[in-house]
Amino acid sequence: MFNLADKVALVTGASSGIGYGIALTLATQGAKVIVAARRVDKLKSLVDEIKKAGGEATAVQMDVTKKSDIANAVASAVKTYGKLDILVNNAGVVNWSTVETLTEEGWDKTLDTNLKAYFFVTQEAVKAMEKNTPSGGRIINIASIASGGVGVGFNGITDYCASKGGVVGMTEALAIELAPKGILVNCIGPGLIISEMTQAIVDDPKQMAGLAGRIPLKRPGTAAEIASAVVYFSADESSYTTGATLYVDGGWLAN
């Protein structure tokens, strides 16, 4: 099950954290992976790790807020591997600011990276995926439990929560629009996952103790645990699933 041999995937924000884990896992399941991010040096390390494990990967420098970079990344996938089957929109930023201190520049950076870029990377990827007849393609968006509508809000990251709520809504709309093309669109909402973005929180005993009290499994998750959900949405076995959001959160939302 969940064999991704002969599939080609593009993972944005792959230089660290969740994106790194997703790219590595997709490769171990047989996919050929285009790993994209701004930090090329870290991408090279990822490519080396994938190749040592027997997988195939190519690094592409990509700022998801630049449409020229987006077009180049998708074109690189098609040029290198002949097609694009899977897109994982993962690149993201968080900007800790109160309602009094959040600037317009900060708001725009968060929404441009976490939401606007997801749409325009998807738009470019669809051009390639619609040529995959009859298989279509798979688009997986990484949102968050901090996405509104599910009872979780976080103080000091209003712009982040707004962007991730937008990702969930966008996923549902795109799933409807792209279904006739055979392109399935789904979303994953991680809870507290160990990454560069959350390392300071995880390393703070007081903060971690408070958060653990809200997580039935009493621990943060790992990038590999998010990657496993991505594999499901990428595989043939999820062929009747589209427009869904899967929360991988250690039970947070159930608590």
Residues labelled catalytic: 160
Report residue 142 as tokens: 């990484």
Q: How far apart are CA 24 and CA 61, in angstroms?
A: 17
Place of tokens 């929109």: 89
Q: How far apart are CA 34 and CA 140, in angstroms?
A: 15
Closest CA to 32 of 75, 89, 80, 91: 80
Place of tokens 């944005």: 12
**Phi and psi at residue 89, in whole multiples of 5°?**
-80, 105
Q: How far apart are CA 211 and CA 215, in angstroms?
A: 7
Q: 8-12 and 137-142 as β-strands: parallel, antiparallel, unpaired?
A: unpaired
